[in-house]
């Protein structure tokens, strides 16, 4: 039964590792991590930042939370969305009121 024991041991090892990862993600609330978070929040607050600096390929992809609904099609009336970021992030449609 050595094969089954090895398999079960290996599987339990992987489950243990995933459990450790889960604990790690919650251990992020430790003081060190909290300080880092606080520093980032302070930065955001001081500079009034609204978005992550991820998609710098176009102006409207840089600030997706600020972008109006039409910018991806801005070049001409039947323009298609052509920046790769458009295929990664979908537009946020606000609940209620007008479309963005």
Cα–Cα distances in Å, from 8 out to 11, 20, 21, 22, 44?
A: 5, 18, 20, 21, 48
Closer Cβ to other proteins, 3 or 78, answer by number: 3
Which residues, including other chains, have CB under 8 Å from residue 27's CB and lie 6 or more apart? 33
Cα–Cα distances in Å, from 68 out to 2, 16, 61?
A: 62, 46, 11
| Interface with other proteins, residue 24, by CB under 8 A | yes
Among positions 9, 41, 75, 79, the unique one binding other proteins when judged by CB under 8 A: 41
21 vs 62: CA distance, rounded Å:
31
Minimum CB separation from other proteins for residue 97, in Å? Answer: 7
Minimum CB separation from other proteins for residue 8, in Å? Answer: 8
| Interface with other proteins, residue 59, by CB under 8 A | yes
**Residue entry with tokens 């607050």:** 45
Binding site for other proteins (CB under 8 A): 1-5, 7-8, 10-11, 14-15, 17-18, 21-22, 24-25, 28, 33, 36-37, 39-59, 61-71, 74, 83-92, 94, 96-98, 100
């Amino acid at each position: 039964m050595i094969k089954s024991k090895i398999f079960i041991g290996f599987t339990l090892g992987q489950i243990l590792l995933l459990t450790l990862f889960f604990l790690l993600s919650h251990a992020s609330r430790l003081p060190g991590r909290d300080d880092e978070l606080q520093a980032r929040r302070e930065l955001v607050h001081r500079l009034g930042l609204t978005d992550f600096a991820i998609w710098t390929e176009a102006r409207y992809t840089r600030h997706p939370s600020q972008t109006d609904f039409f910018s991806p099609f801005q070049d001409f009336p039947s323009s298609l969305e052509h920046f790769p970021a458009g295929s990664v992030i979908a537009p946020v449609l606000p609940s209620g009121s007008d479309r963005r």
